[in-house]
Structure formats: C-alpha cells, structure tokens
C-alpha cells in the first residue's frame, strides 16, 4: 500500500502530538522536533534524524517513538531511524519530497474563529475572510501591514486553515520570506530550480509572510517577482504581509512594490484596551488557563499595549509566576510581575554578555558555542533562547543581535525569537525555564540610577 505525502504528514503530526505529551517541552525541542517522517510501509516507519543526533535518537528515543507511533496509528509498528539525506528505495511504500519544499502545516490555533476583531484590524480581517471564501475573486493581491505581533501571521494561517476545511481541492501554501529565500538558494545550488518553482507556483493560493526581509536580496526579489506574475496571470490568489506599507518599502525593487500596491492594502493596528481584554479572555479559554478573573485580565490589558504577542507572553509569565510561587492570580500579582524592570522606581538594564553567560550556564554549554557555528540541537536552542532574551530585555535591532551572535543575519534572529515566543504560549517546562532565566536577568541587572 503506497502512502501519499498528505497521509504521511498527517501521520507525523499525530505522532508528534503523542511525543509532546510523553516528554518535557525542553526534551522535545532539543531532540525530537527536528525529526521527520521519511516513509511508511505496512509495519515500519522510517524517521529521518540529523547526523549529530541520529545515534542518540536511536539509543534513547526509539522505544518512545515506537510507543507514540503505535498510539497515533492504532497498530504496532517498527521504527527505523535513518540519516537526513536518506531516500526511500523504489520498494518502500511511500512518496517523499525534499524537506525545504514540503508544504508546512498551518497553525491550528490561528483560525478566523480565534481572531479577535477590533477597529484596528476590522478591514484586514474582513478582507482575509473574503479571500478565503472566494480566492482571486475579491482582493488580489491582498497586502497586510503593521508592526510585529498584531495578527498578520494569524490571518495568513486563518486563510490557509479555512481553505483546508472548506476549499475542496484548492491548494494553499504558506511560507515566510526567509523560508522562500532558503528554499530558493538551496534549489539554485542543488540544480532543483524547476522543483522549487513547481512547489511555489503550482498552487491556487500563496501566503507569504514578512516580505520586507526580501530587501537587499536581489536574486530572491527577481525570483519572487516572476512567481508573483506567474500566479497572478493564471488567476491565483496572493496574500502577503509586511511590517510597513508598500509606499515605505524603498529597499525593494520598484516593480515589486508596484505589484504589492496594485490590490487591497490593509493595515493591522494596535488593539484598544477592550480588544486586548477580549484577546486575553479568548487565549485563557483556548489554552485552558484557569483562575484568572476579569479584574486580573484587565490589569494585564492595561499594562501591555504593544502587541498581541506581548499580551500572550505576559499572560504566560503570570501563569508561571503564580505556579512557581503557589499564588493565586490577582491584579496585584499581575501588576508586580509586569512592572518588573519597567518600574520607574527600579529601571534596570543588562548586557548581551550577561545574557549569553547565564543562558550558556543554564543549558550546559559555553558562550563560545553560542556565538560559534555549533549546530548541535542543545546548543542551537540555547542560542535561540539567548537571542530571544536579548531582544526582549535590551530591545536592540535584529542586525545588532545577529552581530553579537557570530555575525548571524536578522532573519535568523527573527526566527529564533518567534520559535521561543511560540513555546512561551504553552505551559511547559521549557517555558518556565526561559521565564526563570528572564527573571534572573531582570533582578540581577544593575540599576541605571547607580
């Protein structure tokens, strides 16, 4: 029995869900998240593992993989851990595609039902919903812009999730600009440009996030320009997002900016306090967070106004503090936790070196490894946490952070921040570790007034 790529990915999502419940968040992120299901036959699954973790996965986690697969698939299976460049032989009952070109899963939490509408995002929401209901019939292209953390990515995933549920055979693909660029570069180097173009052009709806990062990437801009034209001219829908409107994207080619501005341009603006309160209520209900009354949530909404992501992060911080100290969530606790280093009586600051040192110590590695090219999962994740903390606590630009971590580019830093921020939306051991790190840095930082 030959297993289709869609069936393969669905099976792997179910197995991953079982794995997440069986180990801590830190263990999953360090050793299991990088695995992928390469193939499946009647009684065996083939799991790809990176070269530097393959032996450990085989020795330590093979039984766990077998149990998780048996629960997810409803039948006992053998597990074979293979190298990351392994390709199924002709006799293997599976079809695979290169990892960089696999269709990413849409985040199940990012739906239209879970999006809270306010005056600042009403047009963007209505336009995205119209696009999902009638691709290429309403607004094409649809260009969403606004500061980070306000819901642009949520709307892109919502379109994808809607089409998966109600779109029948309509094919939708989501990618960040960094993923598009990485796949393009690998395709050029590997001679697979036709396969790359098929992956991004043989779709009905293309959803591309953070196009501002195409700046200074001349060949990528040219490739996307032709991808844009190929899709548009064949009646396919394009939805793109950026942190600024087309008119302010001077670093991009003029012809590309003109394409972006040719459809509907809709902004996503910071929510009002009532909308922030509604977002917190919905997030608490969705994540099953108990013990928060409206007064406590309103205090959070009052103190945090920068973005939806910051709101959700603040809520998780309070959950972690309440759990660690065995306190009941209250407006007073929220005020104390969120005041932290922003308090006017105790303004504090820390340094990148201090963040790197404490993070390295916590994760059992060295500062040299953090800024070097060590790609072992434990080191790579510690590096991502340190980048996240640097951006949160110091607030310097992405390129500046990248320079402090061995000359990495801004998209690498942004990816690290997003990955850790997503983990903080879960009540996991890893989230608690990051929050405790952040608190230690805040409390140990020198007083500016001294």
Q: What is the CATH number of the domain that holds 232?
A: 3.40.50.300
Q: Are residues 240 and 321 in the same domain?
A: no
- Verify that 134 and 29 share a domain, yes or no: no
Same domain membership, residue 216 and residue 135 = yes
Which residues have CB under 8 Å from 281's CB, separation 6+? Answer: 294, 297
Is there a single domain that holds both residue 145 and residue 254? yes
CATH code of 320's domain: 1.10.8.60
Domains identified in the chain, total number? 4
Is the residue at 105 inside a domain? no
Same domain? For 128 and 263 the reply is: yes
How far is residue 300's CA from residue 315's CA, in Å, rounded to a whole number?
A: 7
> Are residues 380 and 247 part of one domain?
no
Residue 104 lies in a domain: no
Please report the pLDDT score of residue 145 as a whole number: 93
Question: Are residues 218 and 188 part of one domain?
Answer: yes
Within-domain flag for 329: yes
Determine the pLDDT at residue 57: 82
Q: Which of 267, 283, 317 is the last residue of a domain?
A: 267
pLDDT of residue 1: 46
Q: Could you say which of 323, 342, 361 is where a domain stops? A: 342
Residues in CB range of 96: below 8 A, 6 or more apart: 5, 8, 38, 39, 87, 88
Residues 151 and 263 in one domain: yes
Q: What is the pLDDT of residue 144?
A: 95
Residue 103 lies in a domain: no
Q: Same domain for 39 and 175?
A: no
Are 242 and 282 members of one domain? no
Q: Is the residue at 112 inside a domain?
A: no
What's residue 446's pLDDT? 47
* One domain, residues 130 and 257: yes
- Is the pTM higher than 0.75? no
Report the chain (450 residues): mean pLDDT per 10 consecutive residues: 68 88 74 86 83 76 87 84 74 40 64 88 94 90 89 92 87 88 89 89 92 87 93 93 87 88 91 87 75 86 80 79 76 80 44 89 87 87 92 80 88 86 71 79 51
Q: What is the CATH number of the domain that holds 36?
A: 3.30.300.180
**Does residue 132 sit within a domain?**
yes
Residue that finishes a domain, picked among 267, 290, 310? 267
Domain with residue 440: its CATH number is: 1.10.1750.10
Q: Is residue 117 part of a domain?
A: no
What is the extent of the structural domain holding 288?
Answer: 273-342
**Is residue 72 located within the same domain as residue 135?**
no
- Asked if residue 449 belongs to a domain, the reply is no
């Amino acid at each position: 029995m030959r297993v289709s790529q869609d069936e393969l990915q669905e099976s792997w999502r179910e197995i991953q869900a079982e794995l997440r419940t069986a180990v801590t968040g830190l263990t999953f992120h360090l050793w299991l998240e990088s695995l992928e299901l390469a193939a499946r036959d009647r009684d065996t699954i083939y799991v790809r593992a990176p070269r530097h973790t393959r032996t450990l996965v085989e020795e330590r986690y093979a039984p766990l993989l077998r149990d998780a697969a048996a629960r997810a698939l409803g039948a006992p299976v053998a597990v074979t851990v293979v190298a990351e460049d392994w390709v199924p032989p002709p006799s293997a009952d599976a079809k695979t595609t290169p990892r960089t070109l696999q269709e990413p899963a849409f985040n199940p939490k990012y739906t239209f039902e879970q999006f809270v509408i306010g005056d600042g995002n009403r047009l963007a929401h209505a336009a995205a919903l119209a696009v999902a209901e009638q691709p290429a019939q309403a607004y094409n292209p649809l260009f969403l812009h606004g500061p980070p953390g306000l819901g642009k990515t949520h709307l892109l995933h919502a379109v994808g999730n809607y089409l998966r549920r109600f779109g029948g055979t309509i094919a939708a693909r989501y990618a960040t600009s960094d993923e598009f660029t990485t796949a393009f570069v690998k395709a050029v180097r590997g001679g697979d440009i036709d396969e790359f173009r098929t992956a991004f052009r043989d779709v009905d709806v293309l959803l591309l996030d953070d196009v501002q990062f195409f700046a200074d990437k001349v060949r990528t801009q040219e490739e996307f320009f032709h991808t844009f034209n190929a899709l548009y001219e064949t009646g396919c829908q394009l939805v793109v997002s950026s942190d600024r409107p087309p008119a302010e994207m001077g670093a991009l080619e003029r012809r590309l900016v003109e394409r972006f501005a040719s459809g509907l341009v809709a902004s996503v603006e910071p929510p009002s306090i009532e909308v922030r309160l509604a977002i917190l209520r919905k997030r608490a209900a969705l994540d099953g967070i108990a013990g928060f009354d409206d007064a406590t949530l309103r205090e959070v909404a009052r103190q945090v106004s920068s973005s939806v992501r910051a709101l959700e992060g603040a809520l998780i911080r309070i959950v972690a503090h309440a759990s660690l100290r065995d306190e009941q969530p209250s407006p007073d606790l929220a005020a104390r936790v969120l005041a932290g280093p922003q308090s006017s009586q105790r303004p504090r600051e820390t340094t990148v070196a201090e963040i790197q040192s404490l993070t390295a110590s916590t994760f059992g590695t060295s500062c040299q490894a953090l800024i070097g090219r060590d790609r072992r999962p434990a080191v790579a994740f510690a590096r991502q946490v340190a980048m996240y903390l640097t951006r949160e606590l110091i607030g310097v630009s992405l390129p500046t952070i990248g320079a402090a971590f061995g000359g990495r580019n801004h998209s690498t830093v942004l990816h690290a921040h997003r990955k850790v921020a997503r983990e903080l939306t879960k009540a996991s051991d890893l989230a608690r570790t990051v929050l405790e790190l952040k608190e230690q840095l805040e409390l140990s930082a020198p007083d500016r007034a001294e």
